[in-house]
Structure 1
Amino acid sequence: MKPTLQLKQSQQLTLTPQLQQAIRLLQLSTLEVNQEVARLLDENPLLEREDEDAMQPYAHGDAASTSVVDSIEVKDEISQQGDEDWVKDDWNEPSFSAASGPDDEKEVRGEVAAETPSLREHLIWQLNMSQHDVRDRKIIGLLIDALDVNGYLAQPLEEIVEMLPQELDITLDDLETALVQLQHLDQPGIAARTLSECLALQLKALPEDTPGRDLALRLVTQHLNLLGAHDFAKLKKLLRCDDDALRTVQSLITHLQPRPGAEFEQRAADYVVPDVVVEYRHGSWHVRLNQGAMPRLRVNQMYANILQQGNEKNAQQLAGQLQEARWFIKNLQQRFDTILRVSQTIVDRQFSFLEHGETAMRPLVLREIAEQLELHESTVSRVTTQKFMLTPRGIYELKYFFCSGIATESGGTCSSTAIRALIKQLVDQEDARHPLTDSRMSGILAQQGILVARRTVAKYRELLNILPVNLRKSL
């Protein structure tokens, strides 16, 4: 075959740099957008902030307010093995409420706040104040360094001895003696090898006349697994006690700390700046942009004037930077406009949630919003990811308001979010002595016209971190 030249006409979709930037800005979070703005301000002299004081904290009830900053605690999930599973039902992790005030503003602005001493610092301070000789302090210090973040000594003493240099002349007996001395330091329960030992150490630290103390010691050292399984009948038989005595013991144990080192953790916190704020005005719900989350930019007029005069050697470079600045300002404004439109449409669909809570959440999918606003579903997906809305009920990611639906007896649909809220409501109101089974909850929902299979109830219960019926049973 001879090579030939042919003309062929075809259509091809090409994303211009401006369109690529618009798409990228749309999927960035507020924090990432501000980082992008800071980068361009450093690189492009024709771009400048319109108002340096734009990022001031939002004050509730102030129409001229500019920013809302709310902190959300990131809780560490620490899974324990074996006999530790049972504590999930009875102990709550320590948490910090998200509140606004001067202290929060200091933290947001990066000012130095007083830090809680670490577990190691707390123990070393006590060790230095003790009457132990230098050698004993060093051995106890070795064990302190071996503690994990929960205050447990997970590594066997035999392994620690083998790892130590022989010239230190530290024996297993030395470590065992040091361990006892370490366990007598504050915090009670520290340096335990197991949950059982941790609880026992805390019980031993209580006054001897504490009601239920001796019985609780027997339980945690011999029958902790039965308490985890809520096998109260067997516990009463083995401990030879009645319901009241076992109830006292259970209450005493649940007030102990299964993670004695937890309060010394330096907890990281994520700060969420809402992109939009929902307010109730004139009988309806309205969404407005959080001005504090919107970088206000403009073209630097001084450089623009130089460019217009045409006497600048680098006029071509400035012209490119001017165009880049204008594109960025336009795309940034388009980002905020799209977020506002999508947010208002979501609120129009989910206003019942704002008024009545999760049980009133209606089914909603991305396609509904996309069709109403004549946007592509992928655009709506980008807008609702890592964008947050401040409502009277709290701060929510826009994606939270989308959920699937389940058929009802009347022919309508009920959202999965509403069903989860109803299941939680049923569990909160159940008799602890006779908790509801998944089948029973399915039946109760069916009586309300919501047809949910037992397997679905079990799935939603697990998503809510609600224990199965046998582990929710109480005396």
Structure 2
Amino acid sequence: MTPQLQQAIKLLALSNVELEGFLQGELEKNPLLDRSDAPDSGETGGTDADARERASAAESAGTDELIAAGGSERDAPLDVDYGAETFHHDGVSDQPVRDPDGGYTVGSDYGIGSGGGEDFVDPGEINAAARSLHDFLLEQAGLLIRADQIIASDIIDSIDPAGYFTGSLTEAADRLGVPEARVEAVLLAIQTFEPTGVGARDLAECLVIQAKEADRYDPAMKMMLSRLDLVARGELAALQRLCRVDAEDMADMLAELRGYNPKPGLAYGAAGDAAPIIPDVFISADAEGGWKVELNQATLPRILVNRTYAATLAADGARSKETKAFLSECLSSANWLMNALDQRQRTIVKVATELVKQQDGFFRHGVSKLRPLTLRAVADQIEMHESTVSRVTSNKYLSCERGLFELKYFFTSAIGTAEGEDVSAEAVKSRISALIGAESPKKVLSDDKLVTLLKAEGFDIARRTVAKYRESLNIGSSVQRRRAYKLGAASRAA
């Protein structure tokens, strides 16, 4: 694999905004590259005639066989082993996971996401995450600790971004001129706020708060949380003896522990930190009842090869072998980059077009018609490697009448139904969200009740899956929602 080919593959994973930064570096390194401010004439990857000729040839070659002009790159196919370390984890959500049917869907363990499996992130939630933890805690304090607002404010000022209280109760009591027991009582009240675990003085206390919230703080869990050193060292046999549980109960306790958040405050941030999401592709209905797929030209960098300048340098300054070699290398690199950019754009359009075709029901009727879809299904249709499709859909967003979605949102796992037909996991998530949205504050739906309601509608789903989907939607447990309803009622009464 040549460095140029490795770079070409990684270009696929860049969004238009990220590509702008990459090209700025190339413009600084290569004197034969110029930025074009002229409107695009319909061709991609530049404005000169030679680039358009190469674009036409590249289109017939296919993305997986992108080869730059000249040199050893001509014999090196782009369709390579994408599992190799060289290309591993180009993007946050760039790790396809094989499903039971042999295809690939997006995994659930890499955090951001938007779609495939559990890596869905609503773009609206990204802006919500910019809400200050400090302000959020003060809002709750205003509702629940009215008599000790000054003490609560002082304590909240000492809570770090991770959600931990880093101050001293003694110093706070001296500073405010109140008994230390009163300050501690306010801190304990703050520890009942959202996010669960906030205001803890150390990791153990943070986890204890979450265990109590989940109603799992029994004597065995209490012992485990008092001996986190054994958990960290993996001394499970000793821990099992101390907790007086069998291996099955120990495994269940560890699974519960892994579900807790050691840094609850990090779900919030300083206002203004969140960057806006800019779509890379626009989808709109055409006059014939189909769909039109267009790249976002406003964010698409445009460059061209300044051949006049290259000819001038060759005529005036190329007196030495070193100068001639430098100019030749710059021209070759510029030509290759133009070709790679053109093919990148065509590939994005090709993949997006197939996604729209596969998920036509979603664009016409909404998330309830979202189909289960794997990387392999799309790759087979457009004759590309699955990992090429994965890279193309990483870090790129699609804008349509229904909103803004990451391309990976459209790759979802399948959930069985009573009729034997599979439905998208996102459709199930949408139904869970709708059921919870319609619940009565006086009759909050538990996960078990949600399972019963979903099965009555034909969805064959387990309780742990309902809980996982609910958490991926950032919807709290029934206990947390009941508390939120009470806070809302108190706010309205005030």
Same fold, judged at TM 0.5 (above): yes
Instruction: Provide closer, same or farther for how the CA distance between residues 472 and 338 of structure 1 changes in structure 2, counting only shifts above 3 A.
Output: same
**Contact 1:47–1:298 (CA under 8 A) maintained in structure 2:** yes
Q: Does 1:304 align with 2:310?
A: yes
Aligned-residue CA RMSD in angstroms? Answer: 4.3
**Contact 2:129–2:268 (CA under 8 A) maintained in structure 1:** no
CA distance in 2, matches of 1:344, 1:38: 29
Match of 2:355 in 1: 346
Q: Does 1:73 align with 2:127?
A: yes
Match of 2:273 in 1: 268
Match of 1:176 in 2: 176
**Contact 2:371–2:424 (CA under 8 A) maintained in structure 1:** yes
Corresponding residue SS for 1:270? coil
**Contact 1:274–1:390 (CA under 8 A) maintained in structure 2:** yes
CA distance in 1, matches of 2:156, 2:188: 20
Could you tell me how far 1:318 is from its partner in structure 2? Answer: 0.9
Alignment match of 2:5 (pick from 14, 19, 32): 19
CA distance in 1, matches of 2:186, 2:310: 70
Corresponding residue SS for 1:272? coil
Match of 1:42 in 2: 28
Could you tell me the percent identity over the aligned residues?
A: 37
Match of 1:156 in 2: 168
> Structure 1 runs of 4+ off > 6 angstroms?
77-80, 143-146, 149-153
Match of 1:278 in 2: 283
**Contact 1:74–1:270 (CA under 8 A) maintained in structure 2:** no
CA distance in 2, matches of 1:376, 1:264: 39
**Contact 2:361–2:369 (CA under 8 A) maintained in structure 1:** yes
- The structure, 1 or 2, with the larger RCO (C-alpha pairs under 8 Å, 6+ apart) is 2
Could you tell me how far 1:28 is from its partner in structure 2? Answer: 2.3
1:320-358 CA distance string (max 9 Å, x none) = 101110100110111111111101111111122223222
Could you tell me how far 1:77 is from its partner in structure 2? Answer: 8.3
1:61-117 CA distance string (max 9 Å, x none) = xxxxxxxxx99526158899xxx9xx79x99xxxxxxxxxxxxxxxxxxxxxxxxxx
CA distance in 2, matches of 1:435, 1:417: 22
CA distance in 1, matches of 2:165, 2:463: 42
Could you tell me how far 1:33 is from its partner in structure 2? Answer: 1.4
Larger radius of gyration: 1
**Contact 2:133–2:268 (CA under 8 A) maintained in structure 1:** no
Corresponding residue SS for 1:278? strand
Question: In structure 2, what residue type is equivalent to 1:75?
Answer: A
Could you tell me how far 1:307 is from its partner in structure 2? Answer: 5.3
Instruction: Provide closer, same or farther for how the CA distance between residues 197 and 373 of structure 1 changes in structure 2, counting only shifts above 3 A.
Output: closer
Question: In structure 1, what residue type is equivalent to 2:475?
Answer: I
Match of 1:196 in 2: 189
CA distance in 1, matches of 2:214, 2:354: 48
Corresponding residue SS for 2:419? coil
User: Any unmatched runs of 5+ in structure 1?
Assistant: 1-14, 55-69, 92-122, 124-139, 162-171, 181-189, 200-224, 231-261
**Contact 1:408–1:450 (CA under 8 A) maintained in structure 2:** yes
Question: In structure 2, what residue type is equivalent to 1:49?
Answer: R
Please give the TM-score of this superposition, normalised by the length of structure 2. Answer: 0.55
**Contact 2:131–2:270 (CA under 8 A) maintained in structure 1:** no
Alignment of 1:372-451 (within 5 A): 372-451=381-460
Q: Does 1:455 align with 2:464?
A: yes
CA distance in 1, matches of 2:398, 2:362: 13
**Contact 2:379–2:385 (CA under 8 A) maintained in structure 1:** yes
Alignment match of 1:366 (pick from 375, 379, 391): 375
CA distance in 2, matches of 1:418, 1:149: 38
CA distance in 2, matches of 1:272, 1:265: 18
**Contact 1:404–1:416 (CA under 8 A) maintained in structure 2:** yes
Could you tell me how far 1:287 is from its partner in structure 2? Answer: 1.0
CA distance in 1, matches of 2:437, 2:24: 48
**Contact 2:132–2:269 (CA under 8 A) maintained in structure 1:** no
Match of 1:324 in 2: 333
Instruction: Provide closer, same or farther for how the CA distance between residues 319 and 472 of structure 1 changes in structure 2, counting only shifts above 3 A.
Output: closer
Instruction: Provide closer, same or farther for how the CA distance between residues 192 and 273 of structure 1 changes in structure 2, counting only shifts above 3 A.
Output: farther
Could you tell me how far 1:464 is from its partner in structure 2? Answer: 2.3
Question: In structure 2, what residue type is equivalent to 1:271?
Answer: P
Question: In structure 1, what residue type is equivalent to 2:291?
Answer: W
1:429-461 CA distance string (max 9 Å, x none) = 123322333333223222322211233222222
